[in-house]
Structure 1
Amino acid sequence: MPSPISPDEQTYAPGFTLRHIFHHGTEDHPKLHLRKDVGPSYRMASGRRSFQVSSRLKTVTRMSQRDPDFIESYLHYARTKGAVAIDFDWTHQDIMVPDITDRDTMVELAKVTADAYVEGPTAGDWIDVGLPYNDTGGFGWDSNGLRGHVFADETNTTVIIAIKGTSAALFHSDGDTVTSDKVNDNLLFSCCCARISYLWSTVCDCYEKAYTCSQSCLEGALYAEDKYYRATLDIYRNTSSLYPSANIWVTGHSLGGAMSALLGRTYGLPTIAFESPGEQLAAQRLHLPFPPIPLDESTIWHVGNTADPIFMGVCNGPTSVCWLGGYAMETQCHAGLECIYDTVNDKRWHISISNHRIRPIIDMMLSYNTTPECVAPTNCQDCYDWKFD
């Protein structure tokens, strides 16, 4: 019999390849959920290669019951008025997680997140994997909604879900998801529905008066069927049904990184989020389960750099690029460990929105010989001057 893997032993996956693309509708078509399977012929024709990712054994603490039906029933219950806190049954499991100390692995995972921005095959049939739903009119590759790319190794032992990030001219990208992306950005990362000035249009109706916001209203808005969090849950549900025995990891960049972190928190999945805005406030508003462990044992890793104003939580105020672009990016706290490249001091980078994009981040990571230490943030609180009732 082979000897068991020790926590200090690094192993290499045989290579992850793109297997499926999920598109989940939002806004006008929240029940639309389609899947396109990607075969070897497309991967060869498009030049898509496999991604080599190293992993290590780690003991993780997560809920014993992680069936999607149970999780979603809990999330619904947690938002009901007078809900009593639930004492979850937690379990300790030894699973393979990404080796965050290996530079090449982190670069490969960043490339996986970049792949989620790339258009997939437009030919062929999309499979409807949602509820009975016949109105697919207007659906196209870049139609409004959330997109997830699913990668698997050769043995289907480990699966990676990469969630697409924000499309916006602000970040030097475009696409038909701009409107939905912006609504979800402003809902997730603002203190109260993007109510930062009387001149702004809000993305929900929870504002009550100056620096006062309805907590229950915010919770309902975040969990609404036509918003990205619910779409992310559906993508996970369908992926886990395709690979019921697989060890699932999650990754993403920007908004996709935040959605990855929220999904990872929900199901206890190893997560690498690149340049994510602060998602801790959203995790608290959604009543996501936080395991009773020291923060430094988290399996959610936020990778960013000090010259990215969005990751650092400083892209706000009337003179900021985010404000001028209509984005209320008010949060800075991450619910997990932070792995921060000090590009301001090491590379003499200036704080700029261009340092948020994934392609420059990949080049930046390659310029380092090592990865940064991942540490738990301390004394971080968002929206401290607001009252939520």
Structure 2
Amino acid sequence: MKIAINGAGVAGLSLAWWLEKYGFEVTVFEKKQKLPTEGYLINSWGSGYEVLTKMGLLYNIKEKAIELKYLKCHDNTDKKSTPINISSIIKNNYGKFISIKRVDLLSIIYGNLEKTNVVFGTHIVTFEENSDSVIIERSDGKKESFDIFIGADGFHSHTRSIAFDKDEYNEVDIETCIASFYSYSSKLNTNNSYDLYLDKDKQVSLISLGNQETIVTFAFDKSLITKKPETLEEKKEILLSLFKDFDGKVHEALKGINNVDDIFFDSVGQVKMENWHKGRVALVGDASSAPSLLAGQGSIFALCEAYILAGELHESKGDYATAFAEWQRKLKDTIDLKQANSLTNLSLFIPEKIFLEYISPLRGNLTSVPIFNQIFGAEILKYTIDLPIYI
């Protein structure tokens, strides 16, 4: 059975890994010239951790893993709270938990593919479905025939737009923008700490990774900009303008922004669909069920969806209609619940009421603040996705 996958992110590559394991012939198309490098930190626990264990990749992942030790909250003038022992909070609430840069996880999965054909610099632009195959047309003009076509091309999925009518999906705008880049200033790096700078409608997190490397992530209300920036220079201008009043490490990070050659920038939203599949086409990960970047569970959804979809295709011996239906039946109710709850358990954005009452004064030990129980101990984040056993 020949399977085409559009997108070489976590969903696409992990699905390819499992399909290859079961003997399917897989081709992954990625529009970028190489693996995506822009990024943020991926956290995996519960079912996501279990899938990585089943893939036999934990040893490689642990070599690249990041252990966050302390969380420090600051206001925009750099006044800060008592450091919180984040590692113990994570251990007490999540059990097995691992953090890794997205680019490192992608590289590990990609490096463990043996037979999958990954085609960089091209993607599927359109397709034609008939009774026994899907004819895809690539961005380079070539056409190929496959048995099924999987869209794993993210929140702004092109596959979704060409395979489904607009009334078959809903993109929920959360009115927030995210921007992220890597900084290599030694002045920012402080032993795997997590610094969170908070203002009413703007926030910045700095996660130090060691080796003078820090992930700097900005979150802000969408109303603060008039249009989404298209170029690297436009992204830099927006961040410099919006965060010019922040002191401390944020100021230091922005001083070096001219040396940054890649900035991830996107609006935050969810994708909701009644059906994740249609005919010979299915959508995996953020393409069909994005929980929102702020919720921090997209990679877990992607890993679990990939594992179960590949397992169902294997068990059904390639009967895609049966496999698609069973895959969705096993996952959709749980993921719908997680999506609904992620809107009230955002891992970065702090509600204004909490900000005004607790964060702005920055007094006392913030481990007693309710928002931190939500962030690190929310029950919805500890719910697991049931993973069937496939032989």
Give me the TM-score of the superposition, normalised by structure 1: 0.24
Looking at secondary structure, tell me which structure has more helix per residue.
Answer: 2
The TM-score with structure 2 as length reference comes to: 0.24
